[in-house]
Amino acid sequence: MYLKSITWKSRFQSLYLVITLIGTLWGAPTLVLADSGADGDRTIASGSVIMNRYAPVTNITGNTITVADITALDDTVDDYYTNDVLAANDLILIYQAQGAAFTDSSDASTYGAFDYGQAGTYEFAVVTAVSGNDITVSSTTTTAYACSGISGVYDTINGNVQVVRVPQYNNLTIQNGATITAAPWNGQTGGIVALHVNHNLVVDGTIDVSGLGFRGGEPYPNFHLGGWLISGYRGVDFPEGGQKGESILGNQDDYLTTGGSYGRGAPANGGGGGNAHNAGGGGGANGYAGGMWNEGHGFVAVNDTYANAWDLDDNDNSGSNIVPDYFQGGAGGGRGGYTFSDAYEDPTVFGPNAQVGDVPVWRDVFGEHRRQAGGLGGRPLVNNPNGPNGRLFFGGGGGSGDGNNTVASAGGNGGGLVFLITETTSGNGSILANGATAADTTPIHDDGAGGGGGGGGIILKTASLSTNTLALSANGGDGGNQPLVTNYPQEAMGPGGGGGGGYLAVAAGSGSFLASTVNGGLNGITLSKAMNGGLTGTTPIFPPNGATQGYPGGTSITLNNANAITFPGCQGPTAVTLQAFTVTGSSNLPTVGLGLIGLLMAFTWSRRRRMTRSQIV
């Protein structure tokens, strides 16, 4: 329904706006703007909705983007956009998820070192024309605006570049019980919520991209014999261990070209798979907050409850219950737990791979020794939202636990990305980009568990933020647990490592949050009686069994300056920035043809009609 009561006062205001716009346009006759507020007012009352549309990019030439299928950007069913099809003045986001390159793929703990390449590159752009699968974007540059065409360099062959269609609402309300989410990352598209709100964004419900980023590794699905005592960092098949998590270096198929997608080595921010047999997977990672990636061992606090057991992790009992140095400030994802053991021994006396004389303490009938061979935690990444060289990343996928009995669990998926550009932001809800917690092993539970997914990213630019009401989180997911093996309660396998925290970037002119967290995920635990009281006791002795926590992620939060974030790409105030602009011009306004005045008046009149549109979904 459209409101048709236009007063003489409103007509005068429209004419005033036209005259002002003419003065501005005189110095920039080819100015191209996004159509802010064009998609009207919107209220999401219930349910979970996906507003963005996604299309893989096959080529970029100059200011023309070619997508695989332009109809993927259509909105002919849900009516979240005024225009069913992508058209001039629409706003889009260009994002490259992957395309980093290995600098070390050797079978060593250094496996997975990388060069960023163009991974994480992104920008906003304003559509000027659409023809077939080709999208042309603005290349106008003026004093007041900077829409200089495509500013980034993208790898459309290896980088999995996508175009995301961004709705432009006048006001948007997400009511309690409603959720705006994204299509899951599928290796080419998805994983992103991007919204432009011209005036008021009210979040009483949820914006959630948790677990929609890089995908966790999958365990081998079939029973098999063999694959014991393996300590490799890469491998091409399942006996080498669990599968690695997806990362900016690519997916599991991509890893095959550099030595394999299995084994404990961590590819960039993806977690490594637990080694055979039955070690836990490493956690994925994303944000960087200091510390150091110490060969993916993850984080253990100096005063950890189980310091007396951690003291034995390096096979060097200090006698003082000291947690080894390599756990301190262990940035990135957590490490997976130890391999299989089948003995009632004390883990505070006998560490991994311990022997008495020539006899292995933890040895079972298959020859496994409770070795420190869990998947390594993924590396943290340096996020930066600001142009012209901004980079932002999905959370890395956790590595799978190793399994030979079909009950190992997969690594958790990393968190996706949220981009919010709005004048005012308020509400009592949540914005979430958490890594997914890995599942526990399934009955009969005698396999390793997966690592948690790394936290994703939330980027918020707003002129005004409510005070202490909205909660943001991009936490790492927890590692999976290994519950009790009922018939063999002494058996212990590797729990999963926790995912590393994600990244929060906020630029607000005022206000504060109820909470803003980028915590690392917790390690999983084993409920084996050997690690929880022995044959007769109930007091936990060492339930982590070698699995470690993820490290916190990174933040860049400014609450007194909405312009602390400058997005790459088009910077017109009606496109992706909030600040007002001024134009210095001559006091002698030149004569403008009546045709242009009429055109602008018609535009303003029709714009008023469109801006009164209000829809509830």
Give how many domains the chain has, as a whole number. Answer: 1
SS3 state at 238: helix
The CA distance from 467 to 13, in Å, is: 33
SS3 state at 449: coil
pLDDT per residue over 582-594, tens digit each?
A: 333 333 333 333 3
Whether 114 is covered by a domain: the verdict is no
pLDDT per residue over 262-319, tens digit each?
A: 999 999 999 999 999 999 999 999 999 889 999 999 999 999 999 999 999 998 777 7
Whether 122 is covered by a domain: the verdict is no
Whether 534 is covered by a domain: the verdict is yes
pLDDT per residue over 317-360, tens digit each?
A: 777 889 999 999 999 999 999 999 999 999 999 999 998 988 88
Whether 98 is covered by a domain: the verdict is no
Residue 540's φ and ψ, nearest 5 degrees, are -60, 135
Q: Given this model, what pLDDT does residue 587 score?
A: 32
Question: How far apart, in Å, are the Cα atoms of 575 and each of 65, 86, 89, 165?
Answer: 19, 16, 9, 13
DSSP state of 166: E
Whether 568 is covered by a domain: the verdict is yes
Please, are residues 251 and 215 in contact by the beta-carbon 8 Å criterion?
yes
The 3-class SS string of 488-520 reads CCCEECCCCCCCCCCEEEEEECCCCCCEEECCC
Mean pLDDT check: name the lowest of 4-18, 398-412, 497-511: 4-18
Whether 132 is covered by a domain: the verdict is no
- Work out the angle at residue 206's Cα, subtended by the Cα atoms of residues 205 and 208, and round it to the nearest 5 degrees: 170
pLDDT at 3 over 70: no
SS3 state at 381: coil
Whether 91 is covered by a domain: the verdict is no
Q: Which of these, 411, 392, 405, 536, lies nearest to 460 by C-alpha position? A: 392
- Find all residues with CB under 8 Å of 389, minimum gap 6, and list them: 121, 568
Q: Could you tell me the residue range of the domain that residue 423 belongs to?
A: 166-582
Percent of the chain at pLDDT above 90? 76
Whether 113 is covered by a domain: the verdict is no
